[in-house]
Amino acid sequence: MQSPIVVLRFSAMGDVAMVASVLKQLCYRNPQAQVIMVSRAHFEAFFTDIPGVRFVAFHPKTIHKGLMGLFKLFKTLNSFAPATIADLHDNIRSNILLTLFRLKGKKTAQIDKGRKQKKLFIQDPSARRKPLKHTAVRYAEVFSQLGYTVSFTNNTLVNTRKPAPSIYQEILEFANYGVVGIAPFAQHLPKVWPYEKMQELIHRLDRAGVKVFLFGGGKQEQEIVNSWIVGTENCINTIGKLELNKELDLISNLDLMISMDSSGMHMASLEGTRCLSIWGATHPYMGFWGIGQVFEDCIQVEHPSRPSSVYGNKPCICDGKEAIDLVQVDMVYNKVKEILSLES
């Protein structure tokens, strides 16, 4: 049996979902490959369907906390006798682990995040004419350095519809005007479309007879979505009702996902589902738009002040408004209308 490769990517959710998409291609093109994927326990569902991948949960707040915790994780990973280590994160924790493996004589490779290019992209509008290297390409390059063939392209979605969660099977069966998922939240506020616009979009889709499934996490988000869908007939709040693996199953049955620049977009890509993504403080040209998605489905308003940051953690004020507020409801609804061939 081939010695395994250890893959490190601890967060964030969307980045880990992109790793899963790349590992699908790696394992397809290298069927003898054995992968030890290390990430937070919650993300295991991204990898369960990939042959050759074994998941090891990383617990940074408990058993893997601090230097002693990292050494414990190192011993666990080293017990698999890996031949190579792929660091797809490049943070303090992954660098410590990489150092320990190098001291054991293991071959390692680490992602080049292109930090200088991204900084220039933000600071200099003339640098925004061409897209930077996609993050998934950067992942694939790490594997190539370790001798694995990963021919990555960013232009194909492959959807194999999974059995839908039982509680929603009947709804999906009788959806006559299309099924749309919406992931309206993001980790950073400048990446979130204004709530009143999202609510208007939801109600317009509802009146058109579209079945709308809303995704998110947490009690506060659940309550927000409940307030949005009062009076609707075709909207379903999934928050708090599905485990991550079942969310992925449901996403695979959608005709379309609508998401911020956030994990919803990358989960759609992982399941081969087309996604309209809404952008404000960030920009798809910095290499984070969904794998297999098309640039024309990135909904945004170009402005010299955009983007303000790589991750959307800084305000992005354009003519007195947050950048994402420049995106109007008609821009999104008309695109959905075109894709689903809606009459109203």
DSSP 22-81: HHHHHHHH-TT--EEEEEEGGGGGGTTTSTTEEEEEE-TTTTT-HHHHHHHHHHHHHTT-
Taking phi over 0 as left and psi of -120 to 50 as alpha, with beta for the rest, 20 belongs to alpha
**What residue type is assigned to position 260 of the chain?**
M
CA distance 295 to 92: 33
Tally: H helices and E strands in the chain? 11, 13
Confidence category of residue 344, pLDDT binned at 50, 70, 90: low
Three-class DSSP category at 181: strand
Q: What spatial distance separates the first Cα and last Cα of the chain, rounded to whole Å?
A: 58
Measured CA to CA, the distance from residue 34 to residue 328 in angstroms comes to 47
> Is the pLDDT at 70 greater than 90, yes or no?
yes
CA distance 276 to 336: 8
DSSP H or E run through 180: strand 179-183
Concatenating the DSSP letter of every residue in 136-161 gives HHHHHHHHHHTT------SS-----P
Q: Please report which confidence band the pLDDT of residue 150 belongs to, taking 50, 70 and 90 as the band edges.
A: confident
pLDDT digit string, tens, across residues 291-325: 999 999 999 999 999 999 999 999 999 999 999 99
Euclidean distance between CA atoms 281 and 300, whole angstroms: 10
Q: Which one has a higher pLDDT value, 162 or 1?
A: 162
Task: Copy the structure tokens of residue 31.
Answer: 């069927």
Who contacts 75 (Cβ-Cβ below 8 Å, separation ≥6)? none
Q: Which of 30-44, 145-159, 257-271, 328-342 has the lowest mean pLDDT?
A: 145-159
The region that residue 272 occupies, defined by phi over 0 for left and psi between -120 and 50 for alpha, beta otherwise, is: left
| Mean pLDDT of the region 172-189 | 96
Q: What is the distance between the alpha carbons of residues 73 and 96, in angstroms, rounded to a whole number?
A: 11
What is the overall mean pLDDT for the chain? 95
Q: Is the pLDDT of residue 149 over 90?
A: no
Residue 152 confidence (pLDDT):
66
**Cβ proximity of 154 and 292 under 8 Å:** yes
What is the band of 232 on the pLDDT scale with cuts at 50, 70, 90? very high
Instruction: State both tokens at 231.
Output: 């009076």
Residue with tokens 């979605």: 157
Mean pLDDT of 116-140: 94
Give 60's pLDDT tier (boundaries 50, 70, 90).
Answer: very high
- pLDDT range class, residue 155, cuts 50, 70, 90: low
